[in-house]
Amino acid sequence: MSWLAEHTIRDGSAVAEALDGRQMGPKPVPEILAGLYRSSLEAPEAFQAEYEASTNRVLSILQSFQFQEVDLQLDDRNALHYAAGCGCLEVCEALLRHPQLNFQEDRHGHTPLLWAVRHGMAGAMQLLLRHGAVPWHSDHRGLTALHWACALGFGRLCKLLLMVPLNAEAMKDQRCQRGWTPLHSAAYSGSAACCEHLLSAGADETLRTPRDWTALHLAALQGQVEAIKVLASHCSTEAAKMGDGDGAFLILEMLIMWLQQ
C-alpha cells in the first residue's frame, strides 16, 4: 500500500496535508484513481464500496486546488485514463477542464477514449467523444476504438461509435497493422451484434486479411455460429469464395458444417 493510501485510510486529512505542503507525498489525484481502477479489475466488491468515497475525495481535491496538467500524470498515464477506465463520469467531467488530457497517450498509444472502450464504459466513451476525443485514433498496433469494441464483443459501444456517419465512414473498414478490419475482429470474436452493426453501416464484407480470409472465413475458423449466420445473410459470393491457401478446404468444410447446424 502506498504512503498516500495508508495515510488516507488512517486520517482523511492526509490528502489535504500533502497538497498544502505540510506532508508532500505522491500526487494524490492520479494515485487515488489508479487505486480505484485496480480495484475495479481485481476486487469488484471492494470497488463498489470504495467508489463513492474515492470519487468524492477526488472531486473535493480538484475543486479546492489549482492543478497543472503535469500534476495529473502518473508514469505514462494521466488521471483521465484511470477515471475513464473505471467509469467515473463525475471525475472525468471535472478532469476535462484540462482538455489536453483527452488526447494524451500511454505507452501503448491508448488515449482515455481507448481505455473507456476497452473496459466497456459506454458513458465515459460518450462523454469523451462529446469533448472532442478522436474516435478513429489508432494505438501502436493500429487498433481503433471500433476494433477494440468489436474484438471484445461490446455491441452497444460498436453501435454508438457508428451512429455518427463521419465516424462510421472513417472507421468501418480501417485496417490495423495486422491487416484486420473491425469486421474481421467482430467475426473472429463471435460478436453477432457487432457484425450486424458494421454491416448495417456499410462495412465491406469482401475485404480479406493478408492471409486471404474474409470475416466469414474467420467466423468459420472459430466456430462462431451466430456470427456466421449474420455474415452469411449479408455476404456476397465474393466474400464466401475461398483463397488458394493450404487451409482453404478446411475452412470451407467448417463453414458448411456450421451453416447446417
Is the residue at 144 inside a domain?
no
Same domain as 158, residue 98: no
Beta-bridge partner residues of 37 = none
- DSSP state letters, 36-92: HHHHHHH-HHHHHHHHHHHHHHHHHHHHHS---GGGGEETTEEHHHHHHHTT-HHHH
Domain around 16: 1-134
CATH at 64: 1.25.40.20
Residue from 230, 207, 208, 227 nearest 219 by CA: 227
Q: What is the DSSP secondary structure assignment for residue 164, as one 8-state letter?
A: S
Same domain as 228, residue 167: yes
Beta-bridge partner residues of 78 = 73
Q: Which of 80, 101, 134 is the last residue of a domain?
A: 134
Q: Helices in 180-259 by DSSP H: which ranges?
A: 182-189, 192-200, 215-222, 225-234, 237-240, 248-259
Q: Could you read off the pLDDT of 101-146 as tens digits, one per residue? A: 999 999 999 999 999 999 999 999 999 999 999 999 999 999 999 9
Q: Please give the pLDDT value at position 65.
A: 86
Cα–Cα dist 72/60, whole Å = 15
Burial class of residue 183 in the structure, from the number of CB atoms within 10 Å of its CB (0-12 exposed, 13-18 middle, 19+ buried): buried
Is the residue at 139 inside a domain?
no
Is the residue at 64 inside a domain?
yes
Same domain as 206, residue 88: no
Same domain as 67, residue 17: yes
Q: Could you read off the pLDDT of 180-189 as tens digits, one per residue? A: 999 999 999 9
- DSSP state letters, 88-141: -HHHHHHHTTSGGGGG---TTS--HHHHHHHTT-HHHHHHHHHTT--TT---TT
Beta-bridge partner residues of 77 = 74
Grid-cell match 459470393, residue found: 237
**Taking the model in full, what pTM does it have?**
0.83
Same domain as 205, residue 85: no
- CB 38: neighbour CB atoms within 10 A? 15
Is the residue at 146 inside a domain?
no
Q: Which of 73, 99, 134 is the last residue of a domain?
A: 134
Cα–Cα dist 154/191, whole Å = 8
29 SS3 class: helix
Same domain as 166, residue 130: no
Same domain as 90, residue 188: no
Q: Which of 134, 163, 178 is the last residue of a domain?
A: 134
Q: pLDDT (tens digit, 0 to 9) for every residue of the chain, 261 residues total? A: 333 344 333 334 433 443 443 343 335 899 999 999 999 999 988 898 899 999 999 999 999 888 888 899 999 999 999 999 999 999 999 999 999 999 999 999 999 999 999 999 999 999 999 999 999 999 999 999 999 999 999 999 999 999 988 889 999 999 999 999 999 999 999 999 999 999 999 999 999 999 999 999 999 899 899 999 999 888 765 555 555 544 444 555 555 565 555
Structurally, the chain folds into a number of domains equal to 2
Cα–Cα dist 218/183, whole Å = 10
Same domain as 2, residue 130: yes
Is the residue at 143 inside a domain?
no
Instruction: Give residues with Cβ within 8 angstroms of 1, minimum separation 6.
Output: none
Instruction: Give residues with Cβ within 8 angstroms of 218, minimum separation 6.
Output: 184, 187, 188, 209
